[in-house]
Chains A and B, each alone.
Chain A
C-alpha cells in the first residue's frame, strides 16, 4: 500500500499507473463487449508495435500530431492558460497550410515546406489571439471562448472545403492536394513516417529547454504557478506573459495542423480528427512535461493504431477506440485526483507538525 502511495506521489509513477489503468480498461471493455480478449490483444499489439510498419507508420505517425498539439496544451497550461481550443487552432493551422501549399507548385521545397509550416503557425496563433485578446482586454474565461471557437473553426473549415478551397471538380467536399514541393519528406523507405515526427521531437526538446533554462520559460512557469507572486516578488508583467504563452500555444497547435497536412493528408477534409482534445489527455498524462509529452504521445498513438487494427482484425467496432481513449483520460483524471489526495495527506502531516 505504501508503495502504491509513493508511486502515486511521484509524477512518473502516477502517469504509469494511469496508463496501466487505461490498458486494463481496454481489456475490460473488450471482454464486456463479448469479444475474444486474446484475439483483440494480439490485434492491439500487432497494430501498434508488432512490426516495423505498424510501429513507424501506425504508432509514430499517429503520435506526431498528438505530440505537437500536446506541447501546445502543455505550454498554455504551464502558464496557467486553460486553452482547450487546440482543436480549433489546429484546424486554423491546417487551413493556412493548405492555402499556401496549394500555390507552392513552382517553389523550391526549401522555401515551400517552411512557408507551409509558418503559415500554419501564423493561422493557429491568429485563431488563439481571438480568445487571448478577449481574455486580456475583457477578462473572458478562455475555457469557454476557446471551446466555442473550436466549433467556429469546424464550421469554417466546412465552409472552406465546400467553397473557396474546394477541389476544382467540385465533387468532393475537400481541397485539392498541396504541391509536391510543399510536402514533408518521408523518413524511411516504404514507410509513411515523415519528417514531422523529428520536428515534434526537436520541438519537445526545445520547449523543455526553454522552460528549464531561459528567463522567458521561468516567467511562464512562475506566472502559471502563482500570478500574484510573479507580479509582486518578481515584478513580472503577468498579462504580457499570459498573452504570449497563449499565442505560442496557438502557434504550436497550428503547426500540428500544418504538419498533418504537409506530412499525411496533403489535403483538408470536412470535420476534425479530434487531436486537439486527445492532446489534452496527452499533456495531462505527461504532467505538462515536454519530454513526457513525447512518451505520452507515442502511448496514445499506439492506442489509436492498435485500436484501428482491433477493429480491422478482431471485429471490435470503431466506437470502442473512442471508449479506449475516454478510459485513458478518465485514468489520468482518477490518478491525478489520487495524487492530489496523497500530496494533501503528506502536507497535512507536515502541517500538524508545525501547527
Chain B
C-alpha cells in the first residue's frame, strides 16, 4: 500500500489573490493510509492548498492527482464524488436543523424525497461503525462544539470520504476532546483511510502524524516522516531559522498580602436555571498568574466573566478592582467591532461610562501608542479592526486592555487560532503584565500553554473550582473530577 501512488498529490501549485501570492509552487504528497500533518503559520497557505484539493478554489498553475490519476475539480461536489471530505475550521452546519437533516443536506438529485427514518438510521449506522455516536434527532444548535465537529466528520463519511481533511480541528476542543479525536483519527487511518490534518501545533503533529509537511509563504519547506524529524527542525522550518526569539520569563513578583480579586461563596446559574458555578471561592493576588483549566461547560467561562465584572453573581460576594482588563475568547464577537476603526475600538473600552463629547484626537493618539507598544501590524489607527489578521487583532485587544495600567487582567483562550509567533508574543505580554504587578487570570483550552505561564492553577469541574498543583498529571485528574 505504501509504495503505491499517493492518495492525494498536489504539484507545483500556484495561487494568487489579486496581488498576493498565497501559494508559490507548493508540492504536497499524501501517502495512502497515513495521517499527514500540514503545518504552517497563519498565512502560510495551508488552508488555501487544502481548499484547492477540495475543489473550493482553483489553482492558477499546478496539477492535482488522486491515487495517481490527474484530476480537475469544477466544484467541491467533484472532490466529494472522488472521495475527499473536508472539515472546516468554521463549521458549515444549519443550527436549526437536526443532526440527520444536516447529514442529508447537499445530497445530489432532484425531487428525491427526504425520509427522516432512513437518514436517522444512516447516522446511527455510521456511529456504530466508526464510534462517532450522535443523536440523529438532536438539534444542531443544542450540540456542544465537540459534537458539532463529530457531525462534520460524519457528514463527510456519509458521502463515503476516503481522504479526510481537517482544518485546525482541535482549535475549539478541550484537551480531552482533542485526545479522543486524535485516537479516532489513528483508528480511521488504521483501516486504510487517509487523513490530512491542518494544524500549527508542532508537538501534537509530531506525536500523532505519520508524515509532516511544513509550508511557509506558499512554498513547501520541509516534508518527511514524523519519526525522523525533531521539534526544533520543524519550528525552524515554520518560522524561518533564527527568527524565533527565546521569550525570557520575567521573574514572578508575588506580593502575598495584596489580594486584588476575590470570590466568596459565589454561585451562578444560566438562563435555564442550570447551575454553572457552585459556591466558588478564589483569591487572586497582585503580580501572579492564576491559570484556569476546565473542559467545555465546566464553569470556567462564567468564572472569568464574574472576575471581569461582566456578570453578576446570583449569590456570594465578588470583589474586583475598578480598573480591570478583559480579553474574551471570541474576539470578533465580544472584543472588537470589525467594521469600526482601531481608534473607535479603543474608545469602545470607555463607551459604557463616557459622558459628554468624545475627544477623538486623544483616542487617536492613544490608539497609535497602543499599536506601537504592542507591535500591531496595521495600516494605521484608522484601519478597520476587521482588516487585521487574527494575531494582530488579538495584540490590539490585549494592548487596549493593558492600557492605563489596570490592576487586574482576565484572559480567555488568548492564543486561539494564532500562529506560533503571535501566540508567543501574547504569552510574553502576559508575563510582563505579571512583572508589572497586575493580577492575571488566564484560561486556555491548551493545557501546555496554561502550564507554561501559570504560578497557580485552578481547575473547574462541574461548577466547582479546585486549586491543584501546577503539574499536568494533577490537572488531568482534576479535569475529569478526580483529585
Contact = CB atoms under 8 A, between A and B. Distances in A.
Interface stretch (B42-50, B153-161, B249-257, B291-299): B42-50
A209 B28 CA distance: 56
Nearest to A229: B337
Contact of A215 (B22, B339, B357): B357
A199 to B, nearest CB: 23
Residue among B326, B338, B357 facing the most chain A CB atoms (10 A cut-off): B357
Contacts of B309: 235
Contacts of A354: 42-43, 389-390
Interface string A209-228: 00001110111011001101
A352 B387 CA distance: 12
A218 B347 contact: yes
A232 B357 contact: no
B114 interface: no
Nearest to A223: B351
B351 A228 contact: no
A342 to B, nearest CB: 14
Contacts of B47: 355
Contact of B351 (A219, A349, A352): A219
B356 interface: yes
Given A225-B339, A354-B43, A232 B347 contact: no
Nearest to B57: A352
A140 B422 CA distance: 43
B335 A232 contact: yes
Interface in A223-255: 225-226, 228-237
B354 A222 contact: no
A215 B17 contact: no
A353 B339 contact: no
Interface residues of A, number: 28
B349 interface: yes
Interface in B148-166: none
A193 B339 CA distance: 40
A350 interface: yes
Contact of A218 (B310, B339, B344): B344
Interface string A318-355: 00000000000000000000000000000111101111
A349 B336 CA distance: 21
A352 B48 contact: yes
A237 B352 contact: yes
B389 A234 contact: no
A219 B51 CA distance: 40
15 contacts: A214-B358, A215-B354, A215-B355, A218-B344, A222-B344, A225-B340, A229-B333, A230-B348, A232-B334, A232-B335, A233-B335, A233-B349, A235-B310, A235-B353, A352-B57
